[in-house]
Amino acid sequence: MVRIKILSEDEIRRSLMRISHEILERNKGVDDVVLVGILTRGAFLADRLARNIELIEGKKVEVGYLDVGPYRDDEKRTDVDRSSINFDLNGKIVILTDDVLFTGRTVRAALDGIMRRGRPKSVQLAVLVDRGHRELPIRPDFVGKNLPTSKTREKVKVCLKEIDGEDAVYIVRL
Ligand code: 5GP
Ligand code: MG
């Protein structure tokens, strides 16, 4: 197994700061903007984007966490829902956040989870890494890094300080 570092701590920080600026630019500020992070690592990324936005704009944005387990269409479907979205999604611009975008099936499930809770004005997708190989018509609005990968022989390892003790993105050759 070979592991190559693709993003360092500094590069992750800069990417997330750039994405924060892009979110503000696209939406002309943060009125009606809320962040929804997909558990687990997408939730920490949503928290970080919210902190950046507060630093840049001086305004707090709501952050919720979505468990896509109950909405999955595959063997990973679960019955427990660990989501925590304690605000109204109706009429909001939802920035859906995840660490890695691959086939798009997780995002499809997340959209299901969001729509069941309300009717947002729009949903935009922010991901730290897009590794390609989509199986559904889903594309990100905000991307940290486009990382072409082999569908079967490579994986991306995203480490975040909150749970992994370091900030880094690796490509792992299996
Ligand atoms: P998808 O549903 O688009 O196939 O995969 C995206 C979801 O699976 C994300 O929530 C992501 O965390 C996880 N995932 C898929 N491929 C990878 C990968 O190569 N590395 C990591 N860290 N997560 C992945
Ligand atoms: Mg995930």
Q: What is the ipTM of this complex?
A: 0.98
Q: What is the pLDDT of residue 126?
A: 99
What is the C-alpha separation between 174 and 171, in angstroms, rounded?
A: 10
The rounded Å distance from CA 67 to ligand 2 centre is 9
Residues in the chain: 174
Q: What is the pLDDT of residue 94?
A: 98
What is the C-alpha separation between 88 and 85, in angstroms, rounded?
A: 8
Tokens of 23: 């979110």
Geometric angle at alpha carbon 118, from 34 and 87, rounded to 5°: 45
Cis peptide before 40 (omega within 30 of 0): yes
The rounded Å distance from CA 104 to ligand 1 centre is 9
Q: What is the pLDDT of residue 147?
A: 97
Q: What is the pLDDT of residue 73?
A: 86
**Atom 11 of ligand 1, residue of closest alpha carbon:** 100
For ligand 1, residues with CB inside 6 Å are 38, 98-106, 131, 155-158
Low-confidence spans in the chain with pLDDT less than 50: none
- The structural domains of the chain, ordered by start, are 10-20+31-68+81-148 (3.40.50.2020)
The rounded Å distance from CA 38 to ligand 2 centre is 7
